[in-house]
Structure formats: C-alpha cells, structure tokens
Structure 1
Amino acid sequence: MDENPREVILHVADDPADVQRALDAAAGLHAAGLGVRVRVVVNGPALAGLTGTDAVQVPEHTEVAACSVGLGRRGIDPGELRPEVGTVPSAVTAIVHAQLAGAAYIRI
C-alpha cells in the first residue's frame, strides 16, 4: 500500500442493513488490490446498523465512522456503537473534506 493511499468513501444513510453491504464492498475493493483506504461514513436511519454488542468484521485498511449529529438527532448514545466504530462530528463535512482531498465517493 502507498504511503499516502487513495481514499474511497462509502456513504451509508438509509437502511441499517446497508452497513454490512458497505463492509462487503470495502472487502471487495481490498481484494481487487487497488491500494485504497476505505472509509465507511454512516448517517441517517442507517446509524441503527452500528449499534449492538456483536462485533462486526471491518476489513483491513477500512474505517467506520458514525455521524455525531445524526446520533444526537436519533437519541443514540455513542456508547451504544459497536466497538469498531468511531465518530465524525458531521457526515456531510467529513465527506466534503474527503472529496476535496481527492477521495472517490460511492453511495451504498
């Protein structure tokens, strides 16, 4: 992998089940040998797919981040998130920053 890998943003906003679809897509990107870093950014109703006690398999070179604004709007405490999940202050801001830095964007 490059020292400064290219980034792909997988945006999940609608269906909680789409979180797993995004993780599967991240695994596929890595299996393709593209040398990319994948960030799964989750907001909206899909945030429910990040809660619970079961661990999720996050592929290597993949980060999963929940939108703090969306968590607050839905009354989800960050402590309810699965251990592998981080947060970003705002999904929209995180996505725009990544795109301005050259990241590819895919809506799941």
Structure 2
Amino acid sequence: MVPNLDLILAALLYGSFIACVLLVVAFVILITLLLAFSFSTFSIVFLDLYSVYSLLSRYVGSIEANLELGFLLLLCSLMRYAISAAMASKPSVDRLVSQLRVKAQRAMNRVDASLLVHTRRL
C-alpha cells in the first residue's frame, strides 16, 4: 500500500482541474483573437474595395437612392389604397355609430323611465 495515496490523488485532481481551466481560458483567448483578426481583416478589405472602386461606390449610392425611392412609392400607393378603403367603409361606420347612438338613447330612456317609476313609489 502506498502511503498518503489520498493526498497524491487529491493533488492530481487539483492539478488536472487547474490545467483544464487554463486550457479553457487559453482557448477562449485564441477564439477572441481569431474573431478580432477576421473582423479587422474583412473591414479593411471592404474599406479598400469601397475606396478603390469609386465607380462601384457611385452605383451603390445610386442603388441605395433607388431603393429608398421605391420604398416611398410603395408606401404612397399603400396609403392611397388604405385611404380609399377607409373612405369606402365610412358610410358603414357612420351607420354603425348611428345605430349605437339609437340603442344608447333607448337604454337611457328606459333608465330614466325606471327612475321616474321608482321615485313615484317613494
């Protein structure tokens, strides 16, 4: 039997745990550096391409303006159809409101009549 075997095993487990933590930290640092390097490389390449191809950059600006104009035209046409639909449904909404008004007046007349009957009894 080996003396102090439990202490040796505890030291081995403790050392393994520390080594594992250090490996995870090193792996996270390496991944972070790789992502930062990739991001900076792609941003430099994109900026260089944008400045080198000025003709392309003019087209990009033109395409952006055309997309914005198309979006606004689509929005205007949708608003025209929405306003037409609202104006077409206005008579039905007015009819619904007048029916509700008549029902509310009938209900108020019933309440007034019941209050008059109730006050006459007192």
TM-score scaled by length of structure 1: 0.18
**Which entry has the higher C-alpha Rg, 1 or 2?**
2
Indicate the structure with greater strand content: 1
Where relative contact order (Cα < 8 A, 6+ residues apart) is larger, the structure is 1
TM-score scaled by length of structure 2: 0.16
